Amino acid sequence: MISVNDFKTGVTIEVDNGIWRVMEFQHVKPGKGAAFVRTKLRNLRTGSVTEKTFRAGEKVAKAQIDNRKMQYLYASGDSHAFMDTETYDQIELPEKNIEYELKFLQENMEVQVIQFQGEVLGVELPNSVVLEVVETDPGIKGDTASGGSKPAKLSTGLVVQVPFFINEGDKLIINTTDSSYVSRA
């Protein structure tokens, strides 16, 4: 059991017959009434996000999540193959479980596969990945006065807004939490 006062971003808990990861939390102490903790939780089975409020000091069950380092191998129809880097065991995950993560996955990329009591829940990406620009409009000299941006299609099919000086073939560092451009690689 874990007290809601000890919540941190990334903690996994069992509430309402679901496995949830704390995305955001805020301790609130109103002038009148008891303190409470407002949270934003992501369901690790379905990917849905919900907001839930807990009374201060309330206890919830902490979910024991196993993270295994695995390598993304290939896509095969509606499933994607991953290999354990230590035991060389292979597992296949359905596309619906990793739709968001597919925007960043490249062959031979190492990721953390999240498991709960032997059930594979999904994939945890690194904080940032390096992807190549495959399609973008050319930047025109003098276009940067306003500090604007343009869309760029990356090697995985993801489209992000990038500064005008980025060209096709450039390798970019992309933040996986919000799909945003960070810098050139």
Return d(Cα 12, Cα 9) in angstroms, integer.
9
Mean of all residue pLDDT scores within the chain: 88
pTM, 2 dp: 0.73
Instruction: Give yes or no for a contact between 120 and 84, defined as CB atoms under 8 angstroms apart.
Output: no
pLDDT in tens, 41-61: 988 887 788 999 999 889 999
Domains and CATH numbers, the chain: 2-62 (2.30.30.30), 65-124 (2.40.50.140), 128-184 (2.40.50.140)
pLDDT in tens, 125-162: 888 999 999 999 887 666 555 667 889 999 999 999 99
Give which of 109, 105, 116 is closest to 64, Cα–Cα.
116
Percent share of the chain, pLDDT over 70: 96
The per-residue pLDDT for 142 is 63
The per-residue pLDDT for 23 is 86
